[in-house]
Amino acid sequence: MSTDSLTAGKSTRRKSSRAAKPDPQSPDDTPRRRKGLSERNRPLWMLIPGGLLMVIIIVVPLLLGIFMSGLDLDQYSLRKWVSAPFIGVQNFVEALTASPLLHAIWLSVSYSLLAMVVTIPLGIAGAVATQNAFKGRAVIRSVFLIPYVLPSFVVATVWRTMFQPGSVVDSVLHSVGIDPGLWLNGPQSYWTLILVQIWASWPFVYLLALSGLQSVDHEVHEASALDGALWWNKLRYVVFPYLKGPLSLAFLIGMLHHINNFTLPFVLFGVPAPSDVELLPILTYVTSFQSFRFGLSAAMAFISLILIAIPLFVYLRAVKLDDAETPGGKK
């Protein structure tokens, strides 16, 4: 994740600088490109080692996973897994009709969305608040990053301890006359998860928002000041457009990260998880490693992959993150 944010920051900066200078790689700049290293002569063979690794690490396991989802693979057939009985789409049927998969997908997606909806304004507020230099800004900025650098395992362990019945959180709330009920079991556990996720992940949005703010050119600030824009107008019409790109990226990565987050719910709630927080990764884990239904679990993973890929694809097309021609969104 940290590298993600770094590259994201760099790319925004690069994009905005491109806007000023002519881009040697841009498609409408064809004469210039011919002068450089031509596309035909690029030493593409140098990609072979990396490409090979990608095939081994990503493509082969993906294909294996899809293959496994068609097998009746469990602890009884694991040893000779290639010859496990092929049962076609039965695993998929079972996953969709006879397992809590759909419920788990709903929980995962809704919790991720809720967490993101809260973290984005938080992140922007944090970034805007530390944009202008003041005494102690470096300290504040570092403090903001603490939740982000702590390992998920540590975060979850500490929160779990605090949320124990009769522990710190309860006694504080009791002292002001509130009986909070159970945090780690029952319906409230869903909100506990969202709360901890917000705490742990808002600095990521903050980082990306900060990188977006850094890319606002001085001239723009000056121009808006000359035009007499007040702080809100300036923020709304001048600064926010710069943030659209980085924040879209933050939203995308954040959602994927939340949906795939295993450590946090696993450490917070344990296994078997309360049914209110039986998220997708937990369900897949339990199916694989407690019930040993590897085939079924592969089918579950594949279904969720597709379900996530559809909105992801639509979203990527919509925001055109990969298009260098719209740096930082519309200005």
Partner 1 sequence: MKFASSAKFAAVALTAALALTACGGGSTSSGGSAGPVDGKGKKLSVLVNSNANYPAQQKQWFTDIAAKFKAQTGADVEFETFASGNDELTRIQTSVVSGQGPDVYSLGTTFTPTAYATKAFVTLSDDDWKKVGGKDRFNQAALGISGPDAQHQAGIPFVSRPFVMAYNKDILKAAGIDKPATSWDELAAQAKKMTNPATGTFGLATGYKDNFDPWKFIWAMSVQAGNPLVDGKTLKLDDPTVKKAYETYFGWLTKDKVVDPASVGWSNSNALAAFASGKAGYLMMTTSSSVPTLEKSAVAGKYAYTAMPTTAPGQTSPQGDAANAASILSGDNVVVADYSKQKDLAFAYINLITSKDEQLNYQKIFGDLPANAEALKSLNNPILQPVADTAAKSKATPFTGAWGDIQLALVNVVVQSIPDLSKGSVDDSSLQARLKDAQTKGQASLDRASK
Name the residues that contact partner 1, by CB under 8 A: 56-58, 60-62, 64-65, 68, 74-76, 78-79, 81, 164-167, 181-182, 184-187, 262, 270-275, 281, 284-286, 288-292, 297-298, 301-302, 305
Kindly state the tokens that stand for 214: 């850094």
For the CB of residue 296, give the shortest distance to partner 1 in the complex, in Å.
11
Choice between 123 and 295, CB closer to partner 1: 295
CB atoms within 10 A of CB 257: 17
Integer Cα distance of 128 and 212 in angstroms: 10
Choice between 215 and 288, CB closer to partner 1: 288
For the CB of residue 88, give the shortest distance to partner 1 in the complex, in Å.
17
Region of 261 on the Ramachandran plot (φ > 0 left; ψ -120 to 50 alpha; else beta): beta
Integer Cα distance of 47 and 153 in angstroms: 36
Choice between 7 and 291, CB closer to partner 1: 291
For the CB of residue 314, give the shortest distance to partner 1 in the complex, in Å.
22
For the CB of residue 24, give the shortest distance to partner 1 in the complex, in Å.
36
Choice between 36 and 165, CB closer to partner 1: 165
For the CB of residue 327, give the shortest distance to partner 1 in the complex, in Å.
32
Choice between 86 and 289, CB closer to partner 1: 289
Choice between 65 and 147, CB closer to partner 1: 65
For the CB of residue 297, give the shortest distance to partner 1 in the complex, in Å.
7
Integer Cα distance of 269 and 276 in angstroms: 10
